[in-house]
């Protein structure tokens, strides 16, 4: 019998392309179903959240200014890297979340759907302008063309009880494919959230374009909603109290908000629709004279 102690992993935050521990020093053990400690997770503070928003704002010109085709390539690369971690992520889902969670999805199936969702929105990156944009009829010798542009920095808040991995992917992928940067705040499986950060870090994603924080939603979401440098909130089933906190916070600077209280995460047709992208775009309209 070996007396060697296992070196347990500390699952860190993902901010600005790096993996810092929380500045607050707060962490807690991740306990498996068999009672063993599998690792430790960081509980993000409000300061961590503010730093994530700064990183996202700094990355916005580069990510939104990249070609749509390039953004699609990077999201597809993310799907490739997650595919390579299928066994690890499914193992974390099963050992901590107990297999099929509140969503009813088996761990392997959840990872497969998350990979497929990334591929779907990678494909939308260079096609969404044709679907949401339009040529508008006007009286006069002009072309009048409307085209979608990203809103800016979007806060992503998966709901409690939603699938840990798929809940995050379903909310951040549609926002990112059109050029928004995201700050993800989750209270779900912290190990899975941290591994998602590792996937992002190895996918050619510009530093700060996506940030992942684990911690208490009651503490972090009101700060995220009220932050003046956050332009929108995309949330799942966060419940009535947090929903009110989001509504109060966003009122000051009129953020775009989309709360999805009921999501059938297994419904690929519904969850891959362009209506998931539309809430977080602005429309720029251009007039151009038509020659004789």
Q: Is residue 2 part of a domain?
A: no
Place of tokens 């700050």: 183
Q: What is the pTM of this model?
A: 0.92
Structure tokens at 71: 């953004």
Q: Is residue 229 part of a domain?
A: yes
Residue 176 has what pLDDT?
98
Q: Is residue 84 part of a domain?
A: yes
Per-residue pLDDT at 235 exceeds 60: yes
Q: Is residue 158 part of a domain?
A: yes
- From the number of C-beta atoms within 10 Å of its C-beta (0-12, 13-18, 19+), residue 62 rates as middle
Per-residue pLDDT at 54 exceeds 60: yes
Instruction: Please give the tally of structural domains in the chain.
Output: 1
Q: Is residue 4 part of a domain?
A: no
Per-residue pLDDT at 118 exceeds 80: yes
**Summary mean pLDDT of the chain:** 91
What gap in Å lies between CA 280 and CA 150, rounded to an integer? 6
- State the average pLDDT over residues 80-107: 80
- Beta-carbon contacts of residue 143 (< 8 Å; ≥ 6 apart): 135, 286, 287, 288, 289, 290
Helix (H) or strand (E) holding 267: none
Residue 232 has what pLDDT?
96
SS3 60: helix
Per-residue pLDDT at 292 exceeds 70: no
Give the structural domain span for 178: 9-289
What gap in Å lies between CA 48 and CA 223, rounded to an integer? 11
Residue 100 has what pLDDT?
47
Which of these, 19, 110, 125, 12, lies nearest to 77 by C-alpha position?
Answer: 125
SS3 129: helix
Strand 232-235 relative to strand 153-157, pairing: parallel
- Beta-carbon contacts of residue 175 (< 8 Å; ≥ 6 apart): 154, 156, 182, 232, 234, 277, 280
Determine contact, residues 13/216, Cβ cutoff 8 Å. Answer: no
Determine contact, residues 88/96, Cβ cutoff 8 Å. Answer: no
What gap in Å lies between CA 59 and CA 77, rounded to an integer? 19
Helix (H) or strand (E) holding 170: helix 164-177
Structure tokens at 217: 């939603």
Q: Is residue 1 part of a domain?
A: no
Tens digit of each residue's pLDDT (9 = 90 or more) over 151-182? 999 999 998 888 889 999 999 999 999 999 99
CATH of the domain at 96: 3.40.605.10
């Amino acid at each position: 019998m070996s007396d060697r102690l296992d070196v347990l992993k500390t699952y860190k935050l993902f901010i600005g392309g790096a993996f810092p521990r929380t500045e607050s020093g707060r962490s807690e053990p991740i306990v498996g179903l068999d009672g063993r400690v599998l690792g430790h997770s960081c509980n993000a503070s409000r300061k961590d959240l503010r730093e994530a928003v700064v990183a996202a704002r700094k990355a916005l010109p580069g990510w939104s200014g990249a070609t749509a085709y390039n953004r699609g390539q990077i999201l597809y690369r993310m799907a490739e890297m997650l595919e390579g971690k299928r066994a690890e992520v499914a193992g974390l889902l099963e050992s901590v979340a107990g297999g099929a969670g509140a969503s009813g999805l088996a761990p392997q199936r959840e990872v497969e759907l998350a990979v497929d969702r990334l591929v779907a929105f990678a494909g939308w990156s260079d096609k969404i302008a044709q679907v949401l944009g339009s040529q508008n009829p006007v009286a006069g010798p002009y072309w009048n063309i409307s085209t979608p542009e990203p809103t800016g920095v979007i806060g992503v808040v998966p709901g409690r009880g939603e699938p840990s991995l798929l809940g995050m992917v379903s909310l951040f992928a549609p926002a990112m494919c059109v050029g928004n940067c995201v700050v993800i705040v989750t209270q779900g499986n912290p190990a899975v959230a941290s591994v998602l950060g590792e996937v992002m870090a190895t996918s050619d994603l510009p530093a700060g374009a996506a940030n992942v924080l684990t911690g208490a939603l009651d503490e972090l979401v009101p700060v995220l909603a009220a932050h003046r440098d956050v332009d929108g909130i995309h949330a799942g089933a966060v419940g009535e109290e947090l929903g009110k906190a989001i509504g109060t916070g966003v009122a000051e600077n009129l953020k775009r908000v989309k709360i999805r209280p009921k999501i059938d995460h297994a419904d690929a047709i519904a969850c891959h629709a362009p209506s998931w992208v539309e809430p977080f775009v602005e429309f720029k309209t251009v007039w151009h004279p038509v020659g004789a």
